[in-house]
A and B are shown apart, each in its own frame.
Chain A
């Protein structure tokens, strides 16, 4: 397994450089960011030139990329246009988004898998049909609609939650945004689990376990569920990265100052340092999540070995 991990880690290197280079080029083709710093008027040329050289924007793109990557390895992600180091922005934004992501994943795991098990075991019954219809509804409604609707109902009409999350973003305020963020994935997890459970319920080893006279609970949890979780774990694992990067909509609706907000601001202000920095970290998160998922397979199914 050690060799497998090392090979995977080595594979990450070209992916890492490739993605950062792509992002760097994309941000750079959008034009001159300094021109947008002075509002509807022209920046005075001397100040603009000096800012450009301070941010290294007067150098060729390849040179900017090399300098940038060199700095990244010393932990320096550059400075945002408002004078804050990007690492400082990350230090405030990432904990919040990670918290939100964990809440969303928790919802997916707890609600999604339980619903999936229940419906998978009771295929064709009314509860199965109801959940199937419900998940279909959730999947077909865009997140921003669910978000705005819940915000309006729970926040404004009934006053159960505050419509916006405070800057510190404590866990209790993130519950509803987390649910909104999780909603679509949650529906997928339910459906994936249901199908997987329903399929494996007819497998030989389940019949054997039942025939041995094992208690039903043990059959379902130890034998049936454990084997049915592999596709679900894959989905949830890749979802970690998607949730963190895709939180832009949810974060905007509920005023959460996380990664999505910083990325949005960075793109709007064409602040390449912020955008590239945050995306770089997101890429790392995505790669790490994928690695962990692959390693978890062995936990779920001992037959899977890594060489």
Chain B
């Protein structure tokens, strides 16, 4: 009976394997449906879900639902309006007194006081906590002590923050910054409950905030169920019963689920489906500007690019790009040709000025060629535009831009693309100044302010000034604008600074990116805010 025993042995092995996988099931929770729950696509957040540690849209989506800060950006206009702030007062644009509105609590019942903010900001700024958005607190006095550029931090609390009484605190900035209160709508400035500090792991597995939704269930990496918080004290109460976020491995699958009626909302329509979107969804497709601009940046740390006549070459290259045609054909009108260095979401009052760049950003074959030749030609005889090839279909548009430039120059090799394997590798080459040619760049705003589109990217040695461009006049104008107490005056001074970018063309503005979303016929009142995140609390279920 040798055979029989052996057979039994094999059967046992299979049985063990099966038991190990515990043929699981679990109830069916997809699809939404009951109680006005909206199901929506989601991506796995890249960083732990902490307000000062979330710098990408997927985590930001959740923070937007479970947190409210001192200010809030109006979903339609992008203007910063008071939320938890009773009053933010200043006389010199440097010392601010902030009064928190009474009557707000976290969803666990804890009262929100000045301390909830001061503790949260100190946590966010402290180097030891590794918060990726720590730089948001850089304007507060004492930031260089809690977050030195190198070495150990001397202290963990910002000297510039002082609690006056239960509901009031003061913030002293290290420089004048009149628009600073308007930055406080960013999630990094959200208040945090005591549990965050006492039971950090517990909080991370189920974050508690003060927004219109509470987190009901969070399965990391796969789904999050948010439910309406009935006792939410704000005016922007949720209009639906809750949101079920579902992580998709591929946004094409999310789109397929939407067309099959298995999902209510997709906030990132894949580029390959843009051709079908009208036929599939009809009017249930949104395509609105977001606070993102894409550009081509140059290495000013390289001698060849940092020449007195270089500006002419860069202007010429800008004029050699047929933005209209590329946005129409490659992006199916989900991008808008750029004519300044900000974004339409700012609105005219906020500093967006259509056509500020003028003819320097308009396609003109003859003028482009002449300018490039007057400036001494492309350094090295060839423009190489580096990009990361792993995501975002950058290859297509870089090739198209090069094609456009090559046409103007009448030379097939005037411009070539330079693919880099992964985004991380691309970013490390950019940040370590390893690229000797141009590269694709982009800027997604942190808050809808013209300051945010200019200072972090073009100010001398600013954190995102990867090309190391520097211009004294530009810096002076930015300082002047920040010191201005009158908002309109500040904005127009920023625009004066922007005009220097036209003359110098440190980066070529390409186009403003739009946010795109599609939704099912079960829901209505769907809109994207200026960060291209759906305004979840306003969605109504039919």
Q: Which residues of A contact B248 (CB under 8 A)?
A: 164, 255
Of all chain A residues, the one with the shortest Cβ separation from B258 is A163
- B-contact bits for A156-189, CB 8 A (1 contact / 0 none): 1001001110111111000000000000000000
Q: Check: B247 CB closer than 8 A to any chain A CB.
A: yes
Give the residue of B24, B46, B135, B464 whose beta carbon is less than 8 angstroms from that of A82. B46
Contact A292 B13 (CB under 8 A): yes
Is B130's beta carbon under 8 Å from chain A? Answer: yes
Chain A residue with Cβ nearest B28? A166
Q: Are B18 and A44 in contact (CB under 8 A)?
A: no
Find out whether the CB atom of B424 lies under 8 angstroms from the CB atom of A32. yes
**Most chain B CB neighbours (cut-off 10 Å) among A170, A252, A253, A255:** A255
Q: Could you give, for residues 43-63 of chain A, a 1 whenever the CB lies within 8 Å of some chain B CB and a 0 otherwise?
A: 111110111001000000000
Q: Mark B425-448, 1 if CB is under 8 A from A, else 0.
A: 111111100000000011110000
A84 at the binding interface (Cβ < 8 Å):
yes
Q: Is the CB of B44 within 8 A of A40?
A: no
From A46, A49, A156, A257, contact of B260 by CB (8 A): A156
State which of A8-16, A122-130, A199-207, A265-273 sits at the interface with chain B.
Answer: A265-273
- B166 adjacent to chain A (CB < 8 Å): no
Q: A196-238: which residues lie under 8 A (CB-CB) from chain B? A: none
**Bitwise interface map of B from 506 to 532 toward A, beta carbon under 8 Å scored 1, else 0:** 000000000000000000000000000
A107 within 8 A of B: no
Chain A neighbourhood of B31, CB < 8 A: 162
Closest to B462 in A: A42
> Which of A33, A164, A292, A302 has the largest count of B CB atoms less than 10 A from its CB?
A164
Q: How far is the CB of B56 from chain A (nearest CB, A)?
A: 6
**B18 and A35 contacting across the interface, CB-CB below 8 Å:** no
- A193 in the interface (beta carbon within 8 A): no
- B contact residues around A38 at 8 Å (CB): 55, 132, 427
Q: Does B7 lie within 8 Å of A41, measured CB to CB?
A: no
Known: A30-B425, A264-B249. A46 touches B443 (CB 8 A): no
Interface: A283 (CB within 8 A): no
Binds B, one of A70-78, A94-102, A110-118: A94-102
Query: Closest CB-CB distance, B254 to chain A, in whole Å?
Result: 8
Number of A-B contacts (CB under 8 A): 203
Size category of the binding interface on chain A:
35 or more
Q: Does A2 contact B (CB under 8 A)?
A: no
Q: Which residue of A lies closest to B127 (CB)?
A: A46
Determine the residue in chain B with the shortest Cβ distance to A162.
Answer: B262
Within 8 A of A (CB), among B23-58: 23-26, 28-31, 44-48, 55-56
Nearest B residue (CB) for A240: B17
Chain B contacts with A in 456-504, Cβ cutoff 8 A: 456, 463-464, 466
Q: Are B127's CB and A50's CB within 8 A?
A: yes
Known: A102-B17, A166-B30. A268 touches B260 (CB 8 A): no
Report the bound CA distance from A39 to B20 in whole Å: 39
Write the nearest CB–CB distance from B41 to chain A, whole angstroms: 10
B159 CB, min distance to chain A CBs, angstroms: 18
> Does A151 sit within 8 A of B, measured CB to CB?
yes
Residue B91 CB within 8 A of the other chain:
no
Interface presence of B422 (CB below 8 A):
yes
Given A35-B428, A255-B248, check contact A84 B3 (CB 8 Å). Answer: no
Given A162-B260, A265-B44, does the pair A32, B428 have CB atoms closer than 8 Å? yes
- The reply on A22 being an interface residue by CB < 8 A is no
Q: Closest approach, in angstroms, between the C-beta of A152 and any C-beta of chain B?
A: 7
Q: Does A134 contact B (CB under 8 A)?
A: no
Q: Return chain B residues, CB-CB under 8 Å to A270.
A: 422, 424-425
Most B Cβ at <10 Å: residue of A51, A88, A168: A168
* Residues in chain B near residue A46, CB distance under 8 A: 127, 147-150
Give chain A residues whose Cβ lies under 8 Å from the Cβ of B279. none
| Interface contact B44-A83, CB-CB below 8 Å | no
B175 neighbours in A (Cβ, 8 Å): none
Q: Is the CB of B127 within 8 A of A170?
A: no
Rounded to whole angstroms, the CA-CA distance of A302 and B506 in the bound complex is: 78
In the complex, B198 has a CB within 8 A of chain A: no
Q: Which residue of A lies closest to B424 (CB)?
A: A36
Indicate if the CB atoms of A42 and B45 lie closer than 8 Å: no
In the bound complex, residues from chain B placing their C-beta under 8 Å from that of A167 are 219, 222-223, 246-247
Residue in B223, B250, B253, B423 whose beta carbon sits within 8 Å of that of A36 in the complex: B423
Contact between B259 and A156 (Cβ–Cβ < 8 Å)? yes
In the bound complex, residues from chain B placing their C-beta under 8 Å from that of A254 are: 253
B131 within 8 A of partner (CB): yes
In the bound complex, CA of A162 to CA of B221 (Å): 20
Q: Which of A45, A152, A169, A171 contacts B256 (CB 8 A)?
A: A152
A141 interface residue per 8 A CB criterion:
no
List of A residues within 8 angstroms of B249 by Cβ: 251-252, 255-257, 261, 264
Question: Given A31-B425, A35-B427, A164-B257, A170–B222 Cβ distance below 8 Å?
Answer: no
Known contacts A102-B17, A299-B10; is A163 also within 8 Å of B262 by CB? yes
User: What residues of chain A lie closer than 8 Å to B128, measured between beta carbons?
Assistant: 50
B466 surroundings in chain A (CB, below 8 A): 42
**Nearest CB of A to B139, in Å:** 14
Q: Is B21 an interface residue (CB 8 A)?
A: yes
Q: Complex: how many Å from CA A50 to CA B127?
A: 8
Chain A residues in 8 Å Cβ range of B134: 44, 47
Cα of A262 to Cα of B442 in the assembled complex, Å: 28
A31 & B256 in contact (Cβ 8 Å cutoff): no
21 pairs of residues in contact across A and B, judged by CB atoms under 8 Å? A30-B421, A31-B422, A35-B430, A44-B147, A46-B149, A51-B130, A83-B47, A98-B17, A163-B253, A164-B248, A164-B263, A167-B222, A168-B26, A251-B249, A252-B249, A252-B250, A254-B253, A268-B422, A292-B13, A299-B7, A302-B3
The list of the 6 closest CB pairs from A to B, nearest first, reads: A36-B424, A31-B425, A168-B26, A35-B428, A167-B222, A83-B48
Known pairs A36-B422, A41-B463, A83-B204 / 7 extra A-B pairs, C-beta < 8 Å: A34-B428, A40-B464, A41-B443, A82-B44, A95-B24, A163-B257, A168-B29
